[in-house]
A and B are shown apart, each in its own frame.
Chain A
Amino acid sequence: MLQRKCIKAECTVNETGICLDGHANPEECPNNVSDEDGKFIPDLITTEPNKEVATEKQTLYPLYAGYELGLEEAAEMMRKRYTYIVGVLGESNAGKTCLLISLYLLIGARQLLPRFQFAGSRSLQGFEDRARRLRTWATSGLIESFSERTQLMDPRRPAFLNIAIRDNDADNTYDWLFSDLPGEWTSEAIKRLDATDRLDFIRSADAIIYVVDGTDLEDLTKRHLLVHNTNTAFERIKELLGARLSVPFVVVISKGDKIGMKLPDAAAELTASLSKLGIEHMLTIAAAVSRDERVAKSGEGIDALIRYIVDRDNASAYPRGDVTLSVLNRSYWRGIS
C-alpha cells in the first residue's frame, strides 16, 4: 500500500491525522502526496552547530538529530559528559539490536529500578523506529519483511545509540553509547584483519558486549561453525584491545526463551577460548524479547549485564586514563576523571 505524506513542512498530519489546512479528509489536500518510492537511504542526519536556516518568518536553529550519533557526535559527547562507550558486536541476526531495544523498553518501563534509572537519550526516535522495524541497515538480510516505511541506514557508517543511565547506588549518571553496527562488520573482521579498521573505536571502548545466537549454538548443524567464528572474533577483539584486556567483556547468549534459558553446552567452548586469551568476562543468557513468558520474561538477563559492566567499572579493574579515539584521522583525548 502506498504511503502518503504531506509536503508542507510544518504539517504533522502523518502523526496527528489532522490536516493543517483544515481538510476533513487529509487525502483531499493538494499537499498530501503518495510516496511511490518506499525505500530510500537517507544520509545520517548531522547537525551543524550554528548553521542557521533562514525562513520567511524567522531563523531556525538545527537541533541534534535524535536518531543515532555518528563517530564525531559520539566524540563530542565524550568531551562534555561522562560516557561509557560500549561495543556491541556479533554476527548478523544474532540479536544485537534486539538487545538494545530491550534495554530501552526495560528502563523506560522502570524495570531496572531501584538501581538504574532513565536519565535521557539523544536517540529516542532511533530506538522507537528500530523497535518498529522502521530503521535498519540496508544490508539486513530481513529486508524483504520490512514495510515500505522502513528507513535503510548507510552500512558504511557506524552509529551509536545513546541512553543516559543514572546509577542510584553510586549516585552518578553516565551517558552510554552503544554501537549499532551491521552484523557484516563482525563477519568481515573475522575473515580479514584489515576489516577490523572499521572497529577501531573498540580500542577505546569501556565495555564489549558480544552477542551469540543461542538457537544457532544449540543447533548441531550450526554450532561448530558459530563457535569457530566467534572464537576468531575474540582473537581479533583481543588485538584491538591491546593491553586493556580487563575491559568489561560480556558474552550474551541471545534468544534464551527459545532454548529454555539454559546455556547450550557449546557455550563452555566460548568461555574456554576467552580464558585462554586472557580476557576476563561474563557469559550470560538473555531473552531480549521473549516469545514465551512461561519460559522467560522479556528483558531477562539485561539487568545482569548492565550491573556487571557498571560494577567492574566502579572497581576500576582495568587501566583508565588517557585514551585516544581516532576518528577520521583526527584524535581526541578523552581524559577520564
Chain B
Amino acid sequence: MTNSVSKPPTMRVLIVGGPDAGKTNYIGRLWLATEDGKSALSRNGLPSDLSYLSGVYDSILKGSFAPRTSIDQPATIEIPFRITGDSQNIGCLEIPDCRGETWLTISKMREWPSGWDAYIEDMCACLLFVRIASPSFQPSLDWVTVESLFRGLPCNSPTQTPTQVHLVDWLQIITSRIDVRKKTDIKVRIGIVITAWDRVPSEQSTIDPREYLRANYPLLDQYIDACSERYEVEVFGVSSFGGDFENQPGYSNEFLTTGPQKCGYTVYMNSRGFTKREDVTLPVAWCLGFQLL
C-alpha cells in the first residue's frame, strides 16, 4: 500500500449487511477514530464531500445513535487514510452505499449494480455486519414451526428470510460476480463484524467472536469454514460506543463525559487468545492488509 508519487491508491471495502446491522454507526465511529492518532488507521486529510459522514457523527457526538441512512445520501463514502505511524502507507478508503435496504433489494431483485464490480477487481474485501439483539434479526425456522406449517396449523411463522440465509446469499453473490469476471484467483477477505458486542451477557463477553457466530449463525459459520479456499476470514466483536445509548440508562451521559474518542472497542482472537483493543478501526485495517497483533 505504499505510494511514491501522486494520487494515493484507492482501497475499496464492501460493507455488507441488512438494516439495523450497525453499519452506519460503525462508519461514523470509524471516522471519529481516525482523528485520535491512536487507532490503526488515521485520517490523511478530508474527503471532498463530508455531508454523509457529518450527518452520522453529528448524532454520535450528541450521545445518540445515527439515524437510518436515507435514500438521498451519496452512494460512496471516501476517507483518505494512512497507517498510523507510517506516513508512507497512505490510501483512500472507498466504501459504497451501506444501506441495508440495498442488500435486501439485491436479494429480492437478483440484480447486481454494475458499479460495484469495481469492488471485486484486484482485491476484494468485505465487512459483513451482524448486530447482537438487532430488531431486524430474523431467526431461522425451527422444527416445531415447520411441523405446524406442514400440518396446516396456524402458527406465528416468520415469513421473512432468516438473517443468516441473507448473509450466506450475499457472500455467494459476491463470489459469483468474481467468478463471472474470471477473477477466481482472488481470495476474498471477509471481516465479520459482530456489532453491539457490549450487549453480549457479561459471562460471555470474553468468548471468541467466532464461537458466538457458530452458536448464533451456524449456516454462515459452516459456509465460511467450508469455503476456506475462497475466503480469508476474521471475526471481530465491535462495540462502536462502548455501551448502548437506548437500552442502558445513563450511558449517553457517561459516553459524553468520558469523551466519544475514548469509548468503543474491538475484540478478536490472536495467538495469545482473546484480545480487546480500544480501536474500532481494526476490522477495516485488517481488510486493507494490516496484521492483527
Flag whether A267 is at the interface (Cβ < 8 A). Answer: no
Contact A63 B101 (CB under 8 A): no
Contact B101 A10 (CB under 8 A): yes
> Among the listed A53, A109, A121, which residue makes an inter-chain contact with B111, where contact means beta carbons less than 8 Å apart?
A53
Contact B222 A101 (CB under 8 A): no
Contacts A61-B177, A119-B223, A119-B226 given; does A16 touch B161 at CB 8 Å: no
Flag whether B176 is at the interface (Cβ < 8 A). Answer: yes
Contact B219 A118 (CB under 8 A): yes
Chain B residues near A142: list those with CB within 8 A: 152
Contact B147 A291 (CB under 8 A): yes
Contact B150 A16 (CB under 8 A): no
Contact B146 A66 (CB under 8 A): no
Binds B, one of A130-138, A206-214, A276-284, A312-320: A130-138
Contact B150 A20 (CB under 8 A): no
Contact A120 B223 (CB under 8 A): yes
Contacts A105-B141, A122-B172 given; does A63 touch B105 at CB 8 Å: no
Contact A60 B141 (CB under 8 A): no
> What 0/1 pattern do residues 98 to 130 of B give for CB contact below 8 A with A?
001110111111111111010000000000000
Q: Is the interface of A mostly helix, strand, loop or mixed?
A: loop
Flag whether B36 is at the interface (Cβ < 8 A). Answer: no
Flag whether B1 is at the interface (Cβ < 8 A). Answer: no
Flag whether A33 is at the interface (Cβ < 8 A). Answer: no
Contact A131 B146 (CB under 8 A): yes
Sorting the interface of chain A by its residue count into under 10, 10 to 19, 20 to 34 or 35 or more gives 35 or more
Contact A124 B169 (CB under 8 A): yes
Q: Shortest distance in angstroms between A111's beta carbon and chain B's nearest beta carbon?
A: 9
> Among the listed A66, A109, A110, A298, which residue makes an inter-chain contact with B110, where contact means beta carbons less than 8 Å apart?
A66
Interface residue ranges of A165-187 to B (CB < 8 Å): 166, 173
Chain A residues near B180: list those with CB within 8 A: 49, 61
- Ordered by A's residue number, 5 sampled pairs between the chains whose C-beta atoms are within 8 Å are A59-B113, A107-B222, A108-B219, A133-B149, A164-B226
Chain B positions within 8 Å of A, measured between CB atoms, are 18-19, 68, 70-71, 100-102, 104-115, 117, 136, 140-141, 143, 146-147, 149-152, 157, 159-162, 165, 168-169, 172-173, 176-177, 180, 214, 218-219, 222-223, 225-227
